[in-house]
Amino acid sequence: MIMNVRQSQIVDLLRQEERLDIGQLAELHHVSPMTIRRDLRTLENQGLLVRTHGGAVPSGKIHFLQHAFPHHTVGREKAAIGKLAAGLVGEGQVVMIDTGSTALEVARNLSPEDRNITVATTSLCVVQELYGSPLQVLLFGGYVRKEFPSLYGPLTEAMLKSFHVDILFVGCDGADSRGGFYTSDLRIYGLELEMIDIADRVVVVTESVKFNRKAFVCYATPDRVHTLVTDKGLSAVDRRNLEDRGVTILIAGDNGKIEI
């Protein structure tokens, strides 16, 4: 395993502590929090730790995503989409975060200072990410999906009917600017319909490469979606089609900033 001196020191410190904080590590090593985040991502990819909200824990503690996808990495576009989307959350709101790696990036970028935010989810990866943060986290129960660390089924759908959320962040396996947004797993189709029904605002977070690539079943037509957060690869035709249906388009640039 290749590590620089700072990363090696982080690993040594993690052997002594239950959890490390990004801000404390940045101050200790006299570098920026962004540098520490890159270090933690590198060490996570080597299986030496698991990133959580604002820090990291030893890899033996909680390891859902890394166990299911040992070679999982986060691209620049996906990270920027998550950061931009997380900025849509206001103080005191109740947020639903769906399964999927792009939705997970939203959870990773929620403000840790806002203790009034409640995050509801069926994703074990989101729970892993927010473990130890001051945010309130609600996990809906159900069957465990073998393909992805999340919960689903009639129990999950029945529980959702009793709740209300301000914003839903949901990903997709495929998208069509006229037809809508698709999932490849029929078992979570009903679950995503329930999530949409209980949300005041539906925000789809996805990379532009998912467009013009339909999956098995459409869970939302464009008129059910309020906002799309994606990258600058979205074509002018797809953007126009969605905006004509009332969808607000946010294009994530570097560091999660909006690009016009």
Q: Which of these, 160, 206, 150, 198, lies nearest to 181 by C-alpha position?
A: 206
| Overall fold of domain 5-60 | Arc Repressor Mutant, subunit A (1.10.10)
For residues 140 and 125, the model is more confident at: 140
Instruction: Break the chain into its structural domains and give their ranges.
Output: 5-60, 76-259
Tens-place pLDDT, residues 12-61 = 888 887 788 899 999 999 999 999 999 998 998 887 888 887 888 877 65
Sheet holding 180-183, edge to edge: 174-176, 180-183, 217-220
Could you tell me which residues come within 8 angstroms of residue 182 by beta carbon, excluding any fewer than 6 positions away? Answer: 172, 173, 174, 175, 176, 214, 215, 216, 217, 218, 219
Distant-in-sequence, close-in-space partners of 127: CB < 8 Å, separation ≥ 6: 64, 121, 137, 139
Q: Is the pTM of this model over 0.85?
A: no
Determine whether 184 is exposed, middle or buried from the number of CB atoms within 10 Å of its CB (0-12, 13-18, 19+).
Answer: middle
Note the CATH number of domain 76-259.
3.40.50.1360
Residues 121 and 97 sit within 8 Å (Cβ to Cβ): yes
Contacts of 179 (CB under 8 A, 6+ apart): 214, 218, 221
User: Are 5-60 and 76-259 the same fold in CATH?
Assistant: no
Whether 66 shows a pLDDT value over 60: the answer reads: no
